[in-house]
Structure 1
Amino acid sequence: MAVNKNALLRYKTIDKCLQNHFKTWTLNDLIEACSDALYDYEGKDVDVSKRTIQLDLQMMRSDKLGYNAPIIVYDRKFYKYEDENYSITNSPISNQDLNKLSEAVSFLKQFQGFSHFSALDSMVQKLEDHVYTQKTQEKALIDFEKNDNLKGFNFLDELYRYIQVKKPIKLTYKSFKAREKSTFTFHPYLLKEFRNRWFIIGRKNSNVALLNLALDRIVKIEESADEFIYNTTFNLENYYKNVIGVSVSPTIKTEHILLYVTHKHAPYVVTKPFHSSQKIVDKDNYGITISLDVQHNFELEKEILSLGDGIKVLAPKRLKETIKERLQESVDTYNTELDLKELTLLKKQVLHKGFSVLNQVYTKREIKKIKGKLHMYLKNNPGKTYSLREVFLRLPQLKPLVINKNLKQIIDSLLPNAFLTKVIYFDKTIQDNWYVTWHQDLPVNVKDKIETDGFTSWTKKEDVISVIPPEAINKNTISIRVHLDNTNSENGALKVIPGSQNKRLTDTEIKLIIDNSLPFDCEVNLGGIHILKPQILHASSKNKSGKRRRVLHLEFSNLDLPNGLEYAEKVDL
């Protein structure tokens, strides 16, 4: 049965309405929805009568179009699908339609090979395979790339119609980087597909450049009453000419890219070029050199990185350095992976020696972020730059960066159910320099002074109240020093006396141990940590090099203080 476009659009609109179970639908509601859809499609008012919608409902219920839609009436005036999961889009194609599709495929195949119809080739293959599968009830002969979990496909048809009739939309959107969704008027010009992901190109207003928005980040689309802003600036046919993917910058110039591809990967790059501008400029026994004339964007980097060790950037220098840095960061994520053997050994070292050093706990990227946050805080808050107390109270956004997955795992293995009690930042340089004599770290910081048995030597410095607690609390505490720079004996690395952590020592005992022990220099790389028990004897020399020694000193315990005493900086992990 031949069905005109308006009827198909009404069926589709009714289907969309009845799939919405959050609203009740009367006959008048369906008439209004169909009228709006036809107006959007044709750009003019179309009179949809009550009789027309009644016949549409009757047609959808019948098997004439193969729908057999389970449309029921309840409460004498509301329409819905009896099966809530039903949709006419899930209905099988009728034999009559299959025959028509077969004729269409045969007709379209006549044009394959003609340059004017080259864009139809893949579409014809998909259609032919689908018709064959439906007619023979056999498995498909062609498997096209698809991802059923991709979001945003449901907006395609609606966006297409808005572009077609040149109408703005009110778009609710939440990018991956945004904390909250935002709603704005958007003027759509073009739908773009890349790697099975869809994008809508348009602008918010006439004063801004084109925006490229992913359909899978769209939350909601509504009609806007604003006047449509026509595109008079950009030639959309050539807009993507000089890029790979969808990220285009009108201010970035096209660059001449040179890439060396190993012989193992060369055939794949030759048969499936990165870009239409790709050319082979050189060959040798080990691979080929290709050139591209494109913008440097995220998608270009992604394509290069996808070949791993099979490709090398020769030029330009900036792209080469970017790819090199990203590869190093990738290796860094593997190198910072902890294993059970490391944690077991670390626990034994801390128990018996009183300390341990573990490198590659943080990636270079994580350390860079931590240093960046500290730098901005110290820059905006004049004062001492060589030390900062109560770091997490002043900079709470630093906590998730410092207490990362690796550190949590390490703390859990050493001190289950631990919480943070103290964070201090130190920056030892030639200008801000000091040495620390041999000592044990005994005091803890508390909110208020409350005289309590076993708590002695109360002090107050820079509004920080400190007290020496009973020894049991010190023994149940661990310190972790996060190193933001490479640290060695030249720039003031900590020195320890292994095994000296088991008891509190008098000055005489400290001198005796120092005179008869060989100190250990705890050299730690950037991104590494130094774990120690507070009672271990330790000291540090002045910085004798021009290199900074930045450290975050953290203390953890799993014992609360008695008699109403509270740690000044207690933070749950």
Structure 2
Amino acid sequence: MISRTFNRYIWLLNTLIQHKRLTFEEISNRWDNSRLSDGKPLALRTFHTHRDAIFDLFEIEIKCDTSTYEYYVSTMEPLRKDMTKKWLLNSFTLSNMIEAGHNMKDRILFEEIPHGTEYLQTVIDAMLQSKELEVDYQSFYGHRSTYHMHPYAMKVYNQRWYVVGYIKEKEGIRNIALDRTLELTIGTETFVLPDDFDAEEYYANTVGIFVNENQKPQKVVVRAFGKHVEYMRTLPLHHTQKEIKTIHEEYSDFQYKLCLTPELSTHLLAMGEKVKVLEPEELRSEIKNRLLTTIQNYE
């Protein structure tokens, strides 16, 4: 359970994000109606302490307009630039709301992340200490292996946690899924994180978790039909998405710069008849062949 003090930081930040600009009196009135107040008023000194704590935690500054004596969040840029801080704020906010509702926990449902989360702290400790991980791993094909890995970064995708790093036995950078890990321990050997490794850049040209370092990104154009156009606009397939052609209420074409990976094909196939790949021809052919195979499975 999150500490009560931390909940107050989240409450104050969200109150100002929602209402834009508020005087201390207006903030105090909202505080009095909050479950966090316990019937006690918000002291001005406590308010300023919370402002400082919010800046320390999220690098978000709450400023005061001296002409109106209104407080406001100066910028949300730190959250837009740092996905970890944004994820933490969203998580704590939701937890705060669930606690406030008491019996709401049975009405807010989450996707379950399977086996593997128990290793998160070990991986983070190894990353902080720059220590090698010894991993007892079993693939989906049943093959069991022991790997010695230099953990570079972590990523969550499709309800699974992955660790990316250099695996000695593979002589290269690979991903492992924590839910396929049977045992994981920190070794004694240390490693140095390469200066040229950037986790965001490593995944920059791919959809999902699979990276083929020998592949070059190329232009991909996908046509979305009907209402799915708005879905693509609000939830882009990839950060390189550009809408290059629109025929009102009929379809829109979206362009990307991507490596052609199995996960990209699977993602597009999951959209079914709502989309069509226009280029490259290599991707069009793969999607078509997989659809034909799917049809054959039903015959």
Same fold (TM over 0.5): yes
Q: Aligned pair 1:307/2:271, yes or no? A: yes
Q: Aligned pair 1:295/2:256, yes or no? A: no
The whole-number CA distance in structure 2 between the counterparts of 1:269 and 1:184 is: 39
The whole-number CA distance in structure 2 between the counterparts of 1:231 and 1:182 is: 25
Identity, % of aligned positions: 22
- Counterpart residue number, 1:106: 11
Gaps of 5+ in 1: 1-92, 336-573
SS in 2 for 1:314: strand
- Counterpart residue number, 1:329: 293
SS in 2 for 1:320: helix
- Counterpart residue number, 1:171: 135
8 A Cα contact 2:220 2:257, kept in partner: yes
8 A Cα contact 2:147 2:168, kept in partner: no
8 A Cα contact 2:122 2:186, kept in partner: no
Q: Give the TM-score of the pair, scaled to structure 1.
A: 0.39
SS in 2 for 1:126: helix
Q: Aligned pair 1:223/2:207, yes or no? A: no
- Please say which structure displays the higher CA radius of gyration: 1
8 A Cα contact 1:173 1:219, kept in partner: yes
User: What do the CA deviations read for 1:504-550 (whole angstroms, capped 9, x no partner)?
Assistant: xxxxxxxxxxxxxxxxxxxxxxxxxxxxxxxxxxxxxxxxxxxxxxx
Code of the aligned partner of 1:156: L
The whole-number CA distance in structure 2 between the counterparts of 1:289 and 1:205 is: 43
Deviation at 1:302, TM superposition (A): 1.5
Deviation at 1:274, TM superposition (A): 0.2
Matches within 5 A, 1:100-499: 100-109=5-14, 111=60, 114-118=76-80, 119=83, 120-140=85-105, 143=108, 145-147=110-112, 150-177=114-141, 179-205=142-168, 208-285=171-248, 286-335=250-299
The whole-number CA distance in structure 1 between the counterparts of 2:158 and 2:170 is: 30
Q: Give the strand-richer structure, 1 or 2.
A: 2
SS in 2 for 1:226: strand
Q: Give the TM-score of the pair, scaled to structure 2.
A: 0.72
The whole-number CA distance in structure 1 between the counterparts of 2:170 and 2:251 is: 47
Code of the aligned partner of 2:76: F
8 A Cα contact 2:147 2:167, kept in partner: yes
Aligned-CA RMSD value: 2.4
SS in 2 for 1:155: helix
Deviation at 1:125, TM superposition (A): 3.4
Q: Give the helix-richer structure, 1 or 2.
A: 2
The whole-number CA distance in structure 1 between the counterparts of 2:130 and 2:107 is: 37
Change (3 A) 1:207 1:193: closer
- Counterpart residue number, 1:63: none
Q: How many residues align?
A: 238
Deviation at 1:133, TM superposition (A): 2.8
8 A Cα contact 1:191 1:199, kept in partner: yes
The whole-number CA distance in structure 2 between the counterparts of 1:304 and 1:222 is: 37
8 A Cα contact 1:129 1:140, kept in partner: no
SS in 1 for 2:153: strand
User: What do the CA deviations read for 1:90-145 (whole angstroms, capped 9, x no partner)?
Assistant: xxx4xxx6421322313544547511123334432331332333345230499464
8 A Cα contact 1:206 1:229, kept in partner: no
Change (3 A) 1:142 1:98: farther
Change (3 A) 1:226 1:153: same
The whole-number CA distance in structure 2 between the counterparts of 1:181 and 1:327 is: 32
Change (3 A) 1:176 1:146: same
